[in-house]
A and B are shown apart, each in its own frame.
Chain A
Amino acid sequence: MARTSNLEGTTAPTDSKSWTLRLRQAIDRHLPMDHLLPDRQPYYVGSWVYVFGVVTIAALVWVVVSGIVLSFFGPQWWHDSRAGRFFNSLHFWSVQLFFIFMVLHLWGQYFMAGWRSGRAATWMIGVVIFAVSILTAFTGYLSQQNFDAQFIAINAKDAMNAAGIGAFFNVLNFGQMYGLHIMLLPIGVTILVVLHIVMVRTRGVVKPIDPEGGVRP
């Protein structure tokens, strides 16, 4: 039986039933560290188009950090104090940048057909991130605790009821919308973004489309 080094002074069979060993071997096979944290990139990555994705991630970091601060101090603070209004604005504008650069990243990947060569799942996870982000932003607008939030909620309730989900997704219920906005949906977006990045690093950046047809060497 083939054996591989495990801990110092011990060995474990490669077909071990140990799930930790099998998981580690799978990670080593599919995602070695030089793919996860590369110090070299293909020549065709030398374009500003590839910067849109990382700017989106940077904006997401600001969204999460400013959101954590807002959740600590609450609506009274973010409406009445100068620091609160600053962090409220920081949260709002970083969301605007997040969406702007996510759409620019989407355009870039669409025109280079980023789903080629086994990257369909990466593309589809990106689509799901976009959808979940819209839902997160929507619950954020409903959680503002101002007249704008009330206006949106009053108008949106009819659409939710018409879709048959009004009983489960009550836009007039601040507690439900706020809970979804600061807990479930951000965790979903973050997990999906991490998965998206890991899949990009596993496969590498897609090669440019050859204008002559065929596959580039």
Chain B
Amino acid sequence: MDTPTTYFHWGFILISMPNLLVIGGMVVLFAIALFAPFPHAEGADDGENK
């Protein structure tokens, strides 16, 4: 618990492993949301609110 976490240092970028994992997970989740098929509802409309 008291051990400091690993940090990655590239040039001016300094980021901890937990933060990098969270950001990486968010990017993966975003990509899944873009490409995963969405179950279509019966009442899908073809336009926006008038």
- By a beta-carbon cutoff of 8 Å, the part of chain A in contact with chain B is 35, 38-43, 45-49, 51-52, 100, 103-104, 107-108, 201-207
Main secondary structure on chain B at its contact with chain A? loop
30 A/B residue pairs, CB under 8 Å, sorted by A: A35-B49, A39-B43, A40-B43, A40-B44, A42-B46, A42-B47, A43-B46, A46-B38, A46-B40, A46-B44, A47-B33, A47-B34, A48-B32, A48-B34, A48-B38, A49-B30, A49-B34, A51-B33, A52-B33, A100-B22, A104-B26, A104-B29, A104-B30, A104-B33, A107-B30, A202-B49, A203-B49, A204-B48, A204-B49, A205-B48
Measured CB to CB, the closest approach of chain A to B2, in angstroms, equals 12
Contact count band on B: 10 to 19
Measured CB to CB, the closest approach of chain A to B16, in angstroms, equals 15
Whose C-beta in chain B lies nearest to the C-beta of A200? B49
B41 within 8 A of A: yes
